[in-house]
């Protein structure tokens, strides 16, 4: 997976996280889990830990 695709995953994750903070939607929670799983599968690292390092 290219770095640009990983960046897209991170951007989508952040956007969904913001939307989820405003409302608790079951569909959004499922999308977050899918993005986390996809990121872990591609990199071997968790998305939450990588975001913690970036910010």
Convert the pLDDT of each residue in 4-52 to its tens digit.
Answer: 888 899 999 999 999 999 888 899 999 999 999 999 999 989 988 888 7
pTM (predicted TM-score)? 0.80
Taking the C-alpha atoms of residue 51 and residue 11, their distance in angstroms, rounded to an integer, is 11
Residue 20, sorted as left (phi over 0), alpha (psi -120 to 50) or beta, turns out to be alpha
**Domain that residue 12 falls in:** 3-54
Taking the C-alpha atoms of residue 23 and residue 40, their distance in angstroms, rounded to an integer, is 26
Structural domains counted in the chain? 1
Place of tokens 């569909």: 27
């Amino acid at each position: 997976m290219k770095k640009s695709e990983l960046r897209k995953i991170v951007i989508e994750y952040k956007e969904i996280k913001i939307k989820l903070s405003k409302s608790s939607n079951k569909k959004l929670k499922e999308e977050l889990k899918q993005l986390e799983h996809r990121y872990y599968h591609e990199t071997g690292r968790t998305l939450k830990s990588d975001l913690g390092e970036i910010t």
